Amino acid sequence: MKDEVFKKTILVVDDEENVSELLKLYLEAEGFIVEIAEDGLKALELARSINPDLIILDIMLPFKNGWQVAREIRKDMDTPIIMLSAKGEESDKILGLNLGGDDYVTKPFSPGEITARVKAILRRTKIDVKESVVLKFPQLVIDFSKYEIIASGTKILSTPKEVELMWLLANNPEIVFTRERLLDKIWGYDYLGDSRTVDTHVKRLRRKIEKGRLYTYVHTVWGVGYKFGVIKNEEKSL
């Protein structure tokens, strides 16, 4: 068994056969099961039927592009997504992450790099669990055993990395984590992304659990990183 990924299923979505077959070759050599979709419609069909552990999703696809596919997947699935694109502009990367992508890779790329990113994302974060894996705060519950976040009684559709990030911060209230430390704790020391990944995930978490609600939980420590603390909105403005 290689890095505990044996029998995990990866869905590769790319309309370039040489790209998808090369990724399939590398990933299967690492013990993954690989399924391939060549267009957006087939990607959604396979994602819902096989429930993969991770999706590698190209942006430029027939019928439905990668942006559309990511939006549809995020309506009812929290599967990690690595987005592929020939576009390297920062705005495209930010859009991909905001749509729920866990990573963004620009073509051309090394198949070995993609394999490393897949393994880093799938590797479970080794967080020290103290007395309980369920954390409760005013209008917020984080159940790490079920990978659930419940805000104001409503279950929030969250990716595994969002739950891990929220749990780590909440389990260490008022402790300031630098972006680099969060990358190391949640994504792993061999993660090949940068600190903007943390910023994007925090922004998404705030939108999901704080927008229109009475409390805020995740706070920016300017020039350093982030910390967790329960603040009632009227108190925040004082």
Answer whether 199's CB lies under 8 Å from 225's CB.
no
Q: Are residues 84 and 58 in the same domain?
A: yes
Answer whether 30's CB lies under 8 Å from 115's CB.
yes
Last residue of a domain, one of 102, 122, 142: 122
Residue type, 51: N
Q: Are residues 115 and 207 in the same domain?
A: no
Is the residue at 3 inside a domain?
no
CATH at 44: 3.40.50.2300
Beta strands across the sheet bearing 154-156: 134-137, 140-143, 148-151, 154-156
Q: Are residues 230 and 165 in the same domain?
A: yes
pLDDT confidence of residue 90: 64
Number of domains in the chain: 2
pLDDT over threshold 60, residue 120: yes
Is the residue at 26 inside a domain?
yes
Quick: pLDDT tens for 134-175. 899 999 999 888 889 999 999 998 888 899 899 989 988 888
Average pLDDT over the chain, rounded to an integer: 83
Q: Are residues 113 and 194 in the same domain?
A: no
Q: Are residues 105 and 28 in the same domain?
A: yes
> What domain range includes position 231?
134-236
C-alpha–C-alpha distance, residues 93 and 103, integer Å: 9
Beta strands across the sheet bearing 177-178: 177-178, 225-232, 215-221
What global pTM score does this model have?
Answer: 0.56
Is the residue at 4 inside a domain?
no
Instruction: Give the tokens for residue 218.
Output: 């995740």
Answer whether 75's CB lies under 8 Å from 52's CB.
no
Q: Are residues 116 and 41 in the same domain?
A: yes
Quick: pLDDT tens for 184-220. 788 765 555 566 788 889 999 999 998 888 899 999 9
pLDDT confidence of residue 144: 84
Average pLDDT over residues 107-131: 71
Instruction: Give the tokens for residue 147.
Output: 């990978």
